[in-house]
Structure 1
Amino acid sequence: MLKNVNQNHIIASKEKKYVSNSQKIPYYPVAFQKGKGALLYDYENREYIDFLSSASSANIGHGNKEIAKVVKEQMENLAQYTLAYFYAREPVELARKLISVAPGDDNKKVMFSTTGSASIDGAIKLARAYTGRSKIISFCESYHGSTYGALSISAINTNMRKNIGPLLPEVYHFNYPNCIRCRYGKKEKSCKKECLKDIEYAFNYYLPAEEVAAVFIEPIAGDAGLIVPPKRYMKALHELCKKNGILFISDEIQQGVGRTGKWFGIEHFDIEPDLIVLGKSIGGGLPLGIVIGKSDIMDSLDAPGHLFSMTGNSTVCAAALKMIEIFEREDLNTRAYEMGEYIKNRFLELKEKYEIIGDVRGVGMSIAVDLVKNRNTMEKNYEAAAKICYRCIERGLILIFIGQSVLRVQPPIVITKEQVDKALDIVEKSINEYLNGQIGEEVFKITKGW
């Protein structure tokens, strides 16, 4: 067990004094001062294996010297000069590169923001401007961000929505295709896509399809518990959108940039979305949001419909370009898929040993380990998730839970097999300590989680 974490505790206590509570979902009082690859070090110089990638915003890992070098050089030349009025080479090159890796042809354009959340807002503006329609469809337990538009189409935590209304109007939420805990009581063989029929029913009775501008969907529902939808559902939803002139928008903020073993999670479903939204890892460690879309859609919003002084600045775009160069040179998409399969299989081995693991799922290095009280009912086990994650962090593994019961396994793609094996040993030890009643209730004085 780790002791003498005084520096970490001091920083945590100072944060409580000086930083708004609205920005914290606490798991454990540890503060990081540096990192290298898939390793992190706190202010007592203790080493941790990273199974979170800073909420999937550090896909390429930490402390990359190539990225640091180009950022330093760019900062020394010109950190930024607003693109609202003038021009720069780096954002143009980044836009060209992103269009070249996006699904479909190159008849696309890019819109820059400073965060994924702001890019969701931009996509909402584009959808309404292009279609001339006002209504938006999203999904229960979705999380698209914290700006007003992104929050309005999210539906994961009521605390995010309390006392700040009214939110964006004309947003409609439907059930995400969660086959693990089907809200219709169906199994795969008996499923008739009831969740999709809910949308079709709405189109017939109270939500005119011709008034719907867009459907926003995560290719894997991240903070809901890394729910992987059936391909047949996604294809049918896409067809329903095309049939009714509704834009299909893929939120790739968490699942994009190689997380699933492809540049974009939606590629696993053989779908070309109308708009793709990126954030988190796309900036190579710096804040950046992106919308990629078909040119006619992207040009439907007149200036200054979505611009910010610091948006798409030269420094962050230089970092993003170098990150993409490294990604391609080291074939990190392939690495993400292969290492993801290894991690998933290791967890499936643990599932054979421990009844508390109800499901292991995921694509690439976006993996969910679902902890349950009973495998037959799939009742969520919040206590187990909170205590096991707490003990893992104590033992040197950064691991959190989402969806009340799901261990969120999203390491940096550069993680080594040796580091994975060490991390899995920590997980197994922590499971055994939980099952043996060796993790106390004091955990809940600190750990909250989604």
Structure 2
Amino acid sequence: MEKKYEKCVETCKEDSKVVSFASRIHYYPLVVKKAKGAIVEDLDGNEYIDFLASAGALNTGHSHENVVEAIKNQVDNFIHYTTGYMYNRLQVELAKRLIEITPGNFPKKVAFGLTGSDANDGAIKFSRAYTGRRKIISFIKSYHGSTFGSISLSAISLKMRRKIGPILNEVYHIPYPFCYRCPLSYKKDSCGMVCIKELENAFESFLPPEEVAAVVMEPIAGDGGIIIPPKEYVKRLYQLCKENGILFISDEVQQGFGRTGKWFGIEHFNVEPDIIVMGKAIASGMPLSAIVGRSEIMDSLEAPAHLFTMNGHPVSCSAAIATIDIIKDEKLVEKSRVLGEYALMRFEELKEKYEIIGDVRGCGLSIGVELIKDRKSLERNNEAAKKICYRCFEKGLILTFFAGNVLRVQPPLVITKEELDRGLDIIEESIIEYLEGKIPDSILEESKGW
């Protein structure tokens, strides 16, 4: 039965008249009416399997009953009282739980915020205050948010930087280790890890390591296209930080809370970061962020250096406590690992069948499928990404792309195997229809993406 989108399309038209273009990336006219688990219903009554999980913010799925109950109970007690001046028990309880689940066998403290962007800003502030240094190192193709500090860390899109400068100074970017598309044009098996030598050379020639406060790294580069660095690279980078008194900061906003088959992405690399930045899935859709770091680092600033009227909002904290309990009780970290391995196997099978798939990579239920024009040139196939994602939408699957040509597969961790299989089937059906020329070019004007 053909889907109808009249109400959704009309709402999108109204939206374009009253909401700033700066805050919307358009893929297709999906207007959410309600959602449960891994299923979304739009304003016209169409249902979709969700492979996006609200940009990775809903690891426990849509409207988990325990989260809903926690929110309702807290609202019945009180909605908010600023913890800039007063206290609430929920912040204490949540901070204890975050300290418990984050890697690192040392005393820690927590600072709360509202979104991953402000948490990355806070990480800059704490690292500069603690070390007395000013320089920060981040990565090309990284994405850390859209506040001034987090934009300064990010190096993924000129659209974020145009017309707003000057941005934060003393932020330096180095190539992210991406073996499939080496930014330095080397081959994986013979490169000698030249990417880390780039940093070593910088330390020797123009970037004094004793002036560097921190390295901020996504342990798995999300919006860059689900890029997984070699373990040897992360280990050597961490070692360089330790040798030079530089803080190692892991941005877990997209990859945290079980997304990768471990509580946090950095746990795949057996290093203990000095600071972990988190947001998105921390409170199952409620606005909240947190910075968890070594106690001495987190005590290096005085209030109100990282204080917000709404930070650590009690309703959000209540949702976050429920979220952590759900992930533990329902064994979602392990489920993410198992279903992720299965999905990767399915995608590898598709890669064998269709040359358009150049690379498949991921950890847990954080998977990127890179579309190319041919396997000799490895030229990015941005057109295919747009058309395939739009056709998936028409078939009842929420699927997006980033880095221009990488399908983003990040469903809620509560998704059933049957729902996952149906979603994977829809992707294959859409790939076939693209290869057969059955998806019209008109979609290219509708599906914009990153």
Q: Corresponding residue for 1:275?
A: 275
Q: Which amino acid aligns with 1:51?
A: F
Q: Aligned to 2:370, what secondary structure does the other structure show?
A: strand
* Residues 393-441 of structure 1, C-alpha deviations (whole Å, 9 max, x = no match): 1110000011111000000001111111111111111111100111111
Query: C-alpha distance in 1, partners of 2:199/2:344?
Result: 33
Q: Corresponding residue for 2:317?
A: 317
Q: Corresponding residue for 2:203?
A: 203
Q: Corresponding residue for 1:431?
A: 431
Structure 1: unaligned runs, 5 residues or longer: none
Q: Aligned to 2:66, what secondary structure does the other structure show?
A: helix
Q: Corresponding residue for 2:157?
A: 157
Q: Corresponding residue for 1:141?
A: 141
- Point out the more displaced range, 187-196 or 66-75: 187-196
* Residues 197-247 of structure 1, C-alpha deviations (whole Å, 9 max, x = no match): 111111111111111000000011100100010000000000001001000
Is 1:442 the counterpart of 2:439 in the alignment?
no
Q: Corresponding residue for 1:218?
A: 218
Is 1:264 the counterpart of 2:252 in the alignment?
no
Q: Aligned to 2:369, what secondary structure does the other structure show?
A: strand
- Identical-pair percentage: 55
- Point out the more displaced range, 81-90 or 184-193: 184-193
5 Å-filtered alignment, 1:10-89, equals 10-89=10-89
Q: Corresponding residue for 2:233?
A: 233
Compute the displacement of 1:284 (Å): 2.0
Query: C-alpha distance in 1, partners of 2:2/2:74?
Result: 40
Query: C-alpha distance in 1, partners of 2:128/2:47?
Result: 48
Q: Corresponding residue for 1:327?
A: 327
Q: Which amino acid aligns with 2:201?
A: Y
Q: Which amino acid aligns with 1:211?
A: E
* Residues 111-147 of structure 1, C-alpha deviations (whole Å, 9 max, x = no match): 0011110000000000000000000100001000000
Compute the displacement of 1:261 (Å): 0.8
Compute the displacement of 1:76 (Å): 1.4
Q: How many positions carry a matched residue from both structures?
A: 450
- Point out the more displaced range, 58-67 or 146-155: 58-67
Query: C-alpha distance in 2, partners of 1:73/1:100?
Result: 25
Compute the displacement of 1:303 (Å): 1.1
Q: Corresponding residue for 2:401?
A: 401
What root-mean-square deviation, in Å, do the aligned CA atoms of Structure 1 and Structure 2 show?
A: 0.9
Contact 1:134 1:213 in 2 (8 A): yes
Contact 1:34 1:63 in 2 (8 A): no
Q: Corresponding residue for 2:303?
A: 303
Q: Aligned to 2:290, what secondary structure does the other structure show?
A: strand
Compute the displacement of 1:45 (Å): 1.3
TM-score (norm 2): 0.99
Compute the displacement of 1:187 (Å): 2.0
Query: C-alpha distance in 2, partners of 1:369/1:346?
Result: 11
Structure 2: unaligned runs, 5 residues or longer: none
Q: Aligned to 1:320, what secondary structure does the other structure show?
A: helix
Query: C-alpha distance in 1, partners of 2:267/2:70?
Result: 30
Q: Which amino acid aligns with 2:17?
A: K
Is 1:181 the counterpart of 2:163 in the alignment?
no
Q: Which amino acid aligns with 2:284?
A: G
Give the direction of change, closer, same or farther, for the CA distance of 1:2–1:143 in structure 2 (3 Å limit). Answer: farther
Compute the displacement of 1:44 (Å): 1.3
Deviation beyond 4 Å, 4+ runs, structure 1: none
Is 1:354 the counterpart of 2:346 in the alignment?
no
TM-score (norm 1): 0.99
